[in-house]
Chain A
């Protein structure tokens, strides 16, 4: 079955740049979406259609795509950005939604 692969964890110091990757064979054909989830809360969409940002999401969150890998970049990381981050996309048919395994971002 189709999978999206993320690193389990990423650590970064405040003010630095965090990059979280997500790999999947169908990503050249399907858009990717990124969600932030803090403990006890529902996920929050932070980027959509690979690189768009919903209103209300800080500009330090950005997305990009290259081939079979999409990347979430958080510039100037703040302590409040510590959370789990999930990529989401669809299989090649576009019918089935799939999530990556999640990446825990730790702000040192």
Chain B
């Protein structure tokens, strides 16, 4: 049974960066594609990007190009999402999800990132 466990909540200052981790267990991490999705308070789901772990290939939503970096460490079965130049509008719950044939099949529990001065 594949499980994704994310790092804990973060409080960040505007202009800083945040790095959220997503540790996988119960499967073959190197065969995964991991997507990152965020949800601002009271708002909908927003896809940020993905990494094809085996090939180390990333794709990013145009909105986040230049501000987001998704990486994966095969040795620890952990994916990371780093978002820079944070602003108040980036306050959201950030989810990682394992992608299988375009479906987001298994989700992490979510990480709340609060951006506040």
Contact = CB atoms under 8 A, between A and B. Distances in A.
Which range holds the interface residue count of chain B? Answer: 20 to 34
Given A33-B103, A97-B35, A42 B45 contact: no
A37 B44 CA distance: 10
Classify the interface of chain B: helix, strand, loop or mixed.
strand
A45 B103 contact: yes
Contacts, number: 56
Nearest to B62: A1
B105 A45 contact: yes
B107 interface: yes
Interface of B: 35, 37, 44-47, 50, 59, 61-62, 95, 101-105, 107-110
Given A45-B103, A45-B104, A48-B103, A97 B44 contact: no
B61 A99 contact: no
Contacts of A102: 44-45
A100 B101 CA distance: 19
Nearest to B63: A1
Contact of B102 (A33, A35, A42, A101): A33
13 contacts: A1-B62, A37-B45, A42-B95, A42-B108, A43-B107, A45-B104, A49-B101, A54-B105, A86-B44, A86-B45, A88-B104, A97-B47, A99-B37
Given A88-B104, A90-B102, A42 B47 contact: no
Interface of A: 1, 30-31, 33, 35, 37, 42-45, 48-49, 54, 84, 86, 88-90, 94-102
Contacts of A99: 37, 44-47
A82 B16 CA distance: 38
Contacts of B45: 35, 37, 43, 86, 88, 99, 102
Nearest to B43: A102
